[in-house]
Amino acid sequence: MAFTDRSDAGRKLAQALLKYKEQRPVILALLRGGVPVAAEVAAALDAPLDLVLVRKIGVPMQPELAMGAVANGGAPIVVRNEEVIAMAGIDEAEFEAVRDRELAEIERRRRLYLGNRAPADVQGHVAIVIDDGVATGATTRAALRAIRIRRPSKLVLAVPVAPTDTLVALREEADDVVCLEDHEAFGAIGFYYSDFRQLSDQEVKDTVARFPARAANQA
């Protein structure tokens, strides 16, 4: 299966998640690519949409290489990739400096995308965390842990595509994992989309605005 774009992936993912519609779930999107995917799911399930703000902690000289990730779900949740940290020779001060910069960026994005909007209440509800795909799994793991501490009744990870081995590891973090495709030889998420362009801040804001804040039991 190949996806035309993120909206196409979201519609297909929504079909696989219809079993949760009657349970009045809360949909939580990872920035930025997860937002249009999650929007399709939220629309199909008539569910509230919120963001889970996660940032990769990149190696200073090679920012695309994740040595961890951080999510701000109240108290920051930090996931470390000790193998990458050791390989890159990163000391604790260097790690903390990058982590703190990413936490500041999370706060900037929270104000930009959500303003004063209160986080969706997931306690006691099914929480479905959605992205446009999974690569290393560091940011996904941080997102799941950040939502877990908010005490949902069930924590679900839903993605269109992921590497097989990463998906196996993530099953330890979620109560259910829904993935349309997994591949042992993965490459990059963008390989599975015809249109994988970056979303603008305005597109994210406009999408979130289509789903006014509401309690999950009002869905």
More confident call, 103 vs 216: 103
69 and 168 co-located in one domain:
no
94 and 16 co-located in one domain:
no
Residue 66 sits in a domain whose CATH number is 3.30.1310
The pair phi, psi for residue 17, each rounded to 5°, is -110, 5
- Highest mean pLDDT range out of 9-18, 96-105, 119-128, 131-140? 9-18
Which pLDDT does position 73 carry in this prediction? Answer: 57
Cis peptide bond upstream of 32, omega within 30: yes
Residue 1 lies in a domain: no
Which pLDDT does position 216 carry in this prediction? Answer: 45
34 and 71 co-located in one domain:
no
User: Using CA atoms, how far apart are residues 185 and 165, in angstroms rounded to an integer?
Assistant: 10
205 and 167 co-located in one domain:
yes
User: Using CA atoms, how far apart are residues 102 and 99, in angstroms rounded to an integer?
Assistant: 5
Residue 75 lies in a domain: yes
- pTM of the predicted protein model: 0.88
Which pLDDT does position 59 carry in this prediction? Answer: 94
Residue 40 lies in a domain: yes
138 and 100 co-located in one domain:
no
First to last CA, the chain: 31
Residue 175 sits in a domain whose CATH number is 3.40.50.2020
pLDDT tier at 214, thresholds 50, 70, 90 = low
More confident call, 103 vs 218: 103
Q: What is the mean pLDDT of residues 77-103?
A: 94
pLDDT digits (tens, 9 = 90+) for 56-72: 899 999 888 889 999 97
pLDDT tier at 119, thresholds 50, 70, 90 = confident
33 and 59 co-located in one domain:
no
126 and 99 co-located in one domain:
no
20 and 69 co-located in one domain:
no
108 and 203 co-located in one domain:
no
Which pLDDT does position 63 carry in this prediction? Answer: 87
| Mean per-residue pLDDT over the chain, rounded | 92
pLDDT digits (tens, 9 = 90+) for 157-194: 999 999 999 999 999 999 999 999 999 999 889 999 99
Cβ(194)–Cβ(4) below 8 Å: yes
Say whether 58 sits in a helix, a strand or coil: strand
- Counting Cα atoms < 13 Å in the Cβ hemisphere of 185 gives 0
- Counting Cα atoms < 13 Å in the Cβ hemisphere of 211 gives 32
The count of structural domains within the chain is 2
Residue numbers of the domain that contains 86: 55-113
